[in-house]
Amino acid sequence: MRKVAGLLLIVLLPVVMKAQEVPVADKPVVMISLVPQYAFQSGFRMDFDLPLNERHWIQLAPIFFAGNNVEMSITTADKLGGLALHAYHRYYPDAERDRFQPYVAWGPGFQHYAIDYKVYNGNVRVSKHTNINRIGADLTMGFVSQGSALFFDCYAGAGIRQAFLSGDKDSGEQFNDTFLDFGYSGVLFVAGVRVGVMIKKNKR
Amino acid sequence: MKTKISALILMATLAFPLISRSQMPEDQGAKTRLMWVPQYLFNSGMRFEVDRKLNDELWIVASPTIYYKDNPDNWLYGNSNIYGRKGISAEAWLKWYPEQQSRKRNYIMAGGGYTLSQRKRFAERWQGYLEDGLLFYRYDESYWNTTTHAFALRVAAGRHIYEDRNFLIDAYLGLGIRFASTSRPSGFIYNDPQPSTLDQDYSGVIGVAGLRLGLQW
């Protein structure tokens, strides 16, 4: 009888222990963040990070641009409007969520800008309008702070862009001077900070 | 009070490596690395390297690079005569870690590869035209493209200078040799200077130096 009880205890011990396990860290179900540096380009970017599993996430980054007198390297946009969407696949090589969690992210993006501006024709300023459609892809690496509902994410990497101009596109070089310009085509440095909230679901 | 603060700073400094090490996972199991080589941005290049472990001592590295810029190039190399560039490069390295250290590992790497690049330049050329039945020549300013095929062999020594969890920074230094062949359209009056060792159309001994940062898992 004792032997049977002992055997039963050994067999059931893992089950009993599992039942007594304390809840582990909450599992994030969505991360919502703002990317403040886009404000320098009259842009408002809000990111939504959605988990596929513990290591793989999808990051959707819609951006809205609107502003008057937006300065670029060569010209100033009297009026700027634009929409963009970037989508990234994020991979966290270490699923353990403590301190700063490193990750790598890659994905494509599309941007559309409508720009009203003026150029000099002799001594006369002439109004112009150019539409820019730009495609590209980025590969970045970064760290996300963990341990709180509020998180910070610092990232850096490289990307590539190709712009297609329409409208008054003959003055396209005005939008393609540095990698910060809306009509830039080429390889560029990508870096930034995201700050946001991590919405969690209790994982038991 | 000042002494206490000094002692605290000293203790924190001494303890930092222990603290940071204690928070790192065992990195012996890393088999793959994805490393960004940021200095290629100065040449309008986007380079990410993939390292794959072969055994405890040997790793193989694939280094693809894309070069692209559709406007005058950056000023860092004084190559203001370049008005745009396109290119691809494929290189492979073998890395050998002679010592089996868990951190701050030193390595020797050797490898090479091929680069195809096209650069847009601006210059004058003679252009013939007819006027009143007579053939005249005049200067015509125009863009022209060079196409460069380059093969390079390199050897370098490097060190993992910082590791934290999956994050890794390594630096390397060495030298190599490059054989470049550049084709140019005829009829132009070229004003491009002799290429320096940093230019893609340079042939000869080259220096190899760089910094890589990325993740390993």
Q: Phi first, then psi: what are they for B191, rounded to 5°?
A: -125, 20
Closest partner residue to B36 among A141, A163, A173, by Cβ? A141
Look-up of token digits 């700063």: A100
Name the band, by pLDDT with cuts 50, 70 and 90, for residue B101.
confident
- A4-18, A36-50, B97-111, B185-199: lowest mean pLDDT where? A4-18
Distances (CA, A) of B17 to B5, B8, B21, B164, B165: 20, 15, 6, 10, 13
Segments making up each domain of chain B, as ranges = 25-216
Name the band, by pLDDT with cuts 50, 70 and 90, for residue B2.
very low
Residue B48, chain A, CB below 8 Å: the answer is yes
Q: How far is CA B56 from the centre of its chain?
A: 26
pLDDT averaged over every residue in chain A: 85
Q: How far is CA A109 from the centre of its chain?
A: 10
What is the residue-wise DSSP string for A114-167? EEEEEEEETTEEEEEEEEEEEEEEEEEEEEEE-SSSEEEEEEEEEEEEEEEEEE
Q: In angstroms, rounded to a whole number, what is the distance separating the alpha carbons of residues B109 and B98?
A: 11
Specify whether the CB–CB gap between A203 and A23 falls below 8 A: yes
The model's pLDDT over B195-204, given as tens digits with 9 standing for 90+, comes to 777 777 889 9
CATH class, range A24-201: mainly beta
Share in percent of chain B as helix, strand, coil (round to 5): 15, 60, 25
Terminal alpha carbon distance of chain B: 45
Contact A93 B166 (CB under 8 A): yes
Q: How far is CA B54 from the centre of its chain?
A: 24
pLDDT averaged over every residue in chain B: 82
Question: What's the number of CA atoms in the CB half-sphere (13 Å) around residue A7?
Answer: 4
Contact B70 A176 (CB under 8 A): yes
A103 CB neighbours in chain B (<8 A) are 215
Residue A139, chain B, CB below 8 Å: the answer is yes
Q: Helix, strand, or coil here: A41? A: helix
Segments making up each domain of chain A, as ranges = 24-201
Give CATH for domain B25-216.
Answer: 2.40.160
Q: Helix, strand, or coil here: B103? A: coil
Residue A185, chain B, CB below 8 Å: the answer is yes
The model's pLDDT over B72-96, given as tens digits with 9 standing for 90+, comes to 765 454 456 778 889 999 999 999 9
- pLDDT over 70, % of chain B: 79
Specify whether the CB–CB gap between B33 and B216 falls below 8 A: yes
Query: What's the one-letter identity of residue B152?
Result: A
Specify whether the CB–CB gap between A107 and A83 falls below 8 A: no
pLDDT for residue A174 is more than 70: yes
Specify whether the CB–CB gap between B34 and B213 falls below 8 A: no
Terminal alpha carbon distance of chain A: 36
pLDDT of residue B23: 44
A156 CB neighbours in chain B (<8 A) are 36, 38
- The mean pLDDT of B152-156, rounded to a whole number, is 96
Q: How far is B213 from chain A (nearest CA, A)?
A: 9
